[in-house]
Amino acid sequence: MESSNYYQVLISAENKEQASSILDSLLQKKLILGGPILEGPAKFWWKGEIVEMPYCYILTYTKANLKEKITQEVNQTSVEEIPMISFIPFEGNDKLLRLIDETLC
């Protein structure tokens, strides 16, 4: 199993409800393995100002060939003007990589 075929993925959401909706849509289509919704305070630049608010991220795993489908699904499901999706190449242990391969499309 080539490690460059796998990504750790972070997907933004403005709150837990939105994150849960995105997570459910991606899980139902077998595009991601699943994972936690992380929530905490955030500060970032938005439209020329520093904004401070609670914020959520979905932390999950996927295969490289599913990146485009994930991006399309998040863009359709998210209510954010600019959904943030990060695909980070990662190396995992054999059991995790096998689980990803056996579970996802």
pLDDT of residue 105: 78
How many other CB atoms sit within 10 Å of the CB of residue 70?
22
pLDDT of residue 3: 53
**What's the burial of 69, exposed, middle or buried (CB within 10 Å: 0-12/13-18/19+)?**
middle
Residue 45's pLDDT band (cuts 50, 70, 90): very high
pLDDT above 60 for 43:
yes
CATH classification of the domain holding 97: 3.30.70.120
Closest-CA residue to 38 (of 82, 8, 77, 79): 8
Whether residue 6 contacts residue 66, with contact meaning beta carbons closer than 8 Å, is answered with no
Q: What is the mean pLDDT of residues 14-23?
A: 96
What's the domain range around 74?
A: 3-103
Query: What H or E segment, with its residue span, contains residue 8?
Result: strand 6-13
Could you give phi then psi for residue 16, rounded to 5 degrees?
-65, -35
Q: In one letter, which amino acid is 15?
A: N
Instruction: Count the domains in the chain.
Output: 1
